[in-house]
Amino acid sequence: MKIAFTSCFSAQSFKQQPVWTQVGASGATHLVLLGDSAYYDADGSDMGAVKAMGAHDFALHAFGRLRDQLNQKEFAKLVRNTSLRIHPIWDDHDFLWNGACGAQIEGQPSYRHLLDPTRAAFRAYRDALDSHDPKTFPKPADGWNLGVAEPGYRTLMLSNANDPDGAVMLHLTDGRSYKTKGGEDAVLGKAQMKKLTKAIEASDEKTVHLIASGLTFEARHGETWMDCVAEHAAILKLAATRRILILSGDVHENRFAVPWPTGPWSLFEVTSSGAALRTAVTIGALQCNWGLVDITKDQVSIELSQLHMDTRRRVIDRKKWKML
């Protein structure tokens, strides 16, 4: 089973996005998009302007950015590939703006009116990806729905124990709706962490768990799970008895994290970010970054592809859950 993953791309300045052609040729049957499918607060816009928008203007803005991405030539062709399922989560730039924390936005009357349109825009984007037809995404005249729920936590069994590749479970997290900053930091929040914990603990110990996260787990700068001591520790505790690989984005680079020694096994993390942009969105080195996880009954192979660089590869022994 092959699962591709990447994050951070913008159709505003990057009209050509060859990364999607590469993904399509990889043989992957799943693609996980780890956030920032558009940049509402950059690339021709700015945070101040976005914060000043009313709900209607923000809806036009957000829907427009996601519509442009769905209509981008290489991406649209990939979406129409019915042998590939695409699973998006959101992060700050396709939620509201850089560093926005949903739990705190809920309590701010100046910005709370933006939650309805951003949830509606992301739901429509997810629905269009599920339909394999970019044309199903709403047109500007269609308006947008009120009362759409946040993406929240979802889990998918990509394969079960009877499949040749063994059981693989994908956990799609929502690291924005319940996020806080300052005081008792949270990434997922108590309710979402409870669901994630229950799903992993209820699984057979041979199951491979892929946790999709917009934020990196081990980074010691920027936004990271390490800001939230309780949730960070909870994931490490789960990894002591279950096979967990975190797929993360956000940082506009590809990298392997040093495995966390959590007990008899290790927690692994691999990051791929910068599918179609530059290091600082429109400034710096051009990025064309993506990753591929190939899972068999014996091992988990991970490849990271980057523009003008050799593909980097790591292999995990599935039975021992140790790096080979």
Domains and CATH numbers, the chain: 2-323 (3.60.21.70)
Residue with tokens 């967990």: 244
- Cβ atoms 321, 300 nearer than 8 A: no
Task: For 83-167, list the strands marked E by DSSP.
Answer: 85-89, 154-159
Q: At what angle do helices 115-131 and 55-70 cross, to 10 degrees?
A: 20
pTM (predicted TM-score): 0.97
Please identify every stretch of the chain with a pLDDT value under 50, giving residue numbers as ranges: none
DSSP letter assigned to residue 77 = H
Whole-number pLDDT of residue 141: 86
Q: Please tell me the predicted confidence (pLDDT) of residue 285.
A: 86
Cα 263 to Cα 261: distance, rounded to the nearest angstrom:
6
Instruction: State the pLDDT at residue 149.
Output: 96
Say how many C-beta atoms besides its own lie within 10 A of residue 91's C-beta.
27
Tokens of 16: 């050509």
- How many CB atoms within 10 Å of residue 122? 25
Q: Are 276 and 287 in contact (CB under 8 A)?
A: yes
pLDDT at 183: 67
Residue type at position 117:
P
> What is the b/e burial string over 287-312, where b = at least 16 CB atoms within 10 angstroms of the residue's CB?
bbbbbbbbbeeeebebbbbbeeeeee
Nearest 5 degrees, angle CA 248-CA 33-CA 303? 60
> At which residue do the structure tokens 């991405």 appear?
69
Q: Determine contact, residues 290/275, Cβ cutoff 8 Å.
A: yes
CA-atom Rg of the chain in angstroms: 19
Tokens 């994630």 label which residue? 196
d(CA 237, CA 276) in angstroms, rounded, equals 35
- Residues 320, 324: Cα–Cα separation, whole Å: 10
Tell me the C-alpha distance between 16 and 20, whole Å: 10
Neighbours of 66 (CB within 10 A): 24
Helix (H, G, I), strand (E, B) or coil at 73: helix
- CA 58 – CA 111 distance, rounded (Å): 11
Q: What is the pLDDT of residue 251?
A: 94
Q: Answer whether 246's CB lies under 8 Å from 214's CB.
A: no
Cβ-proximal residues to 165 (8 Å cutoff; 6+ apart), any chain? 1, 159, 295, 296, 297
